[in-house]
């Protein structure tokens, strides 16, 4: 019996082969059987801004539309620069500090890399 690699997304051991692909029945992730050890590197999430540019920790971005803040009633205006972003794996992709507003979480779809 051959040993199949665990799912690179959820680490499930119940993967199976479907032609030239591996499939995870728990999270429905599919990956190439030929990728081998490269799947661990491919498993990293790539964060992209609204224009499709790849974001990295420490980048500077601008807000592309006015964002209303929940709870405080303020608004982050379009064109606001956000320096030294930190990428996180949660419902909001970016943790940052914005002058005048403090610590904040933003979605990458509402920013553009400078």
- For the record, the structure tokens of 102 come out as 């403090």
DSSP state of 12: -
What was the pLDDT predicted at 19? 80
Among 104, 99, 110, residue whose Cα is nearest residue 70: 104
The helix (run of H) or strand (run of E) holding residue 102 is strand 102-106
Q: How far apart are CA 54 and CA 68, in angstroms?
A: 25
Among the ranges given (15-29, 51-65, 75-89), the one the predictor scored with the smallest mean pLDDT: 15-29
| CA angle in degrees (0–180, nearest 5) for 75-67-70 | 70
Average pLDDT estimate for 65-86 = 91
Q: Is the pTM of this model over 0.85?
A: no
| CA angle in degrees (0–180, nearest 5) for 100-103-107 | 105
pLDDT level of residue 100 (50, 70, 90 thresholds): confident
Average pLDDT estimate for 87-104 = 91
What was the pLDDT predicted at 30? 86
Residue bearing tokens 């379009």: 78
Mean residue pLDDT across the chain: 86
What was the pLDDT predicted at 93? 92
Question: Bigger pLDDT: 64 or 41?
Answer: 64
């Amino acid at each position: 019996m051959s040993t199949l690699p665990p799912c690179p997304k959820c680490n499930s051991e119940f993967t199976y082969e479907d032609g030239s692909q591996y499939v995870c029945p728990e999270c429905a992730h599919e990956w190439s059987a030929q990728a081998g050890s490269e799947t661990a590197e491919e498993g990293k999430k790539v964060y992209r801004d609204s224009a499709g540019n790849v974001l990295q920790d420490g980048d500077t971005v601008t807000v592309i539309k006015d964002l209303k803040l929940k709870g405080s009633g303020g608004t982050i205006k379009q064109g606001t620069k956000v320096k030294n972003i930190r990428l996180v794996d949660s419902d909001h992709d970016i943790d940052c500090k914005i002058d005048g507003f403090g610590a904040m979480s933003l979605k990458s779809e509402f920013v553009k890399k400078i």
